Amino acid sequence: MKTAIRGALLTFRRDPLLAGVEAAMVYESDALVVMEEGRIAAVGPASTLLPTLGQDVAVTSYPDSLILPGFIDCHVHYPQTEMIAAYGEQLIDWLNHYTFVTEQGFADKAHAAAVAEVFLAEQLRHGVTSSAVFCTVHPDSVDALFEAAERRQLRIMAGKVCMDQYAPAALLDSAERAYHESKELIGRWHCRGRAEYVITPRFAPTSSEAQLTALGALAAEYPDMAIQSHLAETPGEIAWVKSLHPDCPHYAAVYQHYGLLRPRAIYGHGVHLAEEELQLLHDSGASLAHCPSSNAFLGSGCFDLRRARTVPRPVTVGLATDLGAGTSFSMLQTMRAAYEAAQSHGYALSAPQAFYLATRGSAEALGWADKVGSIEVGLEADLVVLTLRSTPLIDFRMRYVQDIEEALFVQMILGDDRAIAATYVAGRLQYRQGQARQGDM
């Protein structure tokens, strides 16, 4: 069945930081997006497309709103939903005192399924239509998330966390188990509908050399599969990795040594990378997930986006909440945190750059730009509708904006979940404002 939505529209052809806003951003003040069989069938000015539609095509209009590609969260931990806003600690102590305690509960699939329902409902309520998700060491935690995502027809990648050292015994697997359980999950879920499996070592310190070798072998068997982990989040973590891998010149070289740096390998954080590591990421085609609210919450530091994207060796970067060290499901709030992180390095992140990172930028980081992240004919119809006057203060402030860039900046600084009017997944309305929090339409 063909349907359509009408309103102002914003999407991106490329990165405005590198190409400039005029060449990168597409804005249409009155557009129509036609959807059929889960994909975008037509997009353009409403005045041009409306006469081409049959009378049986339902058109939903969104005045004072903006149609965007669905937000893409390129690094998030669904098991940490129940421990978001856990007080105190920096990274390693926070993992030991909160994360590793919480994740042991996911041995119970019923518990994992309940958390997955809340997690995905919250993502949709915040306009997030796709994500790259860390589960726990338990295969049932992966099944629970994929099953819940399949019911909603979500494009999602997820993986079993692999770790065989420096964590509680209840959360440890082994090199052999990590390989075989991951391979079983690949057989069950990879490319089933809109699901993709992602090879997921937690981070270098919690995987032995044997396990990293096994995961590198698994990656070699599936050369197009995504890989996700963490990299250079804190100075203490970097020193720890150096003590464990003294023969590697730096942290990124550890992943390179085991065959885990390549296109569609995305590493969270990258706050404290040396120039040689940025060059290595560029050369290998690996990407970084910018997690600004998480970095601020744990006191890890502030990622320098402009440095990472520097020509001639720009590293692909997407935007991520990194829940639950990240403090919100909202990509708008995460954009604000990214702006604040940039300010700490002496420059201002523009609104077009922030919205690019949360849509096409994350799609490019995950290797999904041919599927989602933009509003183009043939791509999957994952869309979010942003109401531009979601609170009394925003309504008042919007009276004084001069152009679309200023309007976007107001939204990313002042907006939150109240700004999400509707979320469409594969052309189907999956959330509308006012819907019950955990509804599944």
CA–CA dist 76, 71 (Å, integer): 13
Q: Is 424 helix (H, G, I), strand (E, B) or coil?
A: strand
Give the per-residue pLDDT at 88: 82
Packing angle between helix 404-414 and helix 331-343, nearest 10 degrees? 100
Nearest in space to 164 (alpha carbons), one of 104, 199, 230, 210:
210
Residue 440 has pLDDT above 90, yes or no: no
Per-residue pLDDT of 4-54, as tens digits, reads 999 999 999 999 999 999 999 999 999 999 999 999 999 999 999 999 999
With 50 as the cut, is the pLDDT of residue 246 above it? yes
User: Which pLDDT tens digit goes with each residue over 64-105?
Assistant: 999 999 999 999 999 999 999 999 888 889 999 999 999 999
pLDDT classification of 439: cutoffs 50, 70, 90: very low
Q: How far apart are CA 166 and CA 210, in angstroms?
A: 14
**pLDDT digits over 328-385, tens only?**
999 999 999 999 999 999 999 999 999 999 999 999 999 999 999 999 999 999 999 9
Digit-coded pLDDT (tens) for 157-211: 999 999 999 999 999 999 999 999 999 999 999 999 999 999 999 999 999 999 9
241: nearest Cα among 281, 272, 286: 272
Given a contact cutoff of 8 angstroms between Cβ atoms, the answer to whether 187 and 195 are in contact is: no
Q: Residue 347, class by beta-carbon neighbours within 10 Å (0-12 exposed, 13-18 middle, 19+ buried)?
A: exposed
List, in order of start, the domains of the chain with CATH numbers. 2-69+374-432 (2.30.40.10), 71-366 (3.20.20.140)
Helical spans, DSSP H, in 14-90:
16-19, 21-24, 46-49
CA distances from 417 to 71, 233, 367, 411 (A): 12, 28, 27, 11
Query: What pLDDT sits at residue 435?
Result: 62
Q: What is the mean pLDDT of the chain?
A: 96
Q: pLDDT of 99-137, one tens digit each?
A: 999 999 999 999 999 999 999 999 999 999 999 999 999
Calculate the CA 153 to chain-centre distance: 17
pLDDT of residue 127: 98
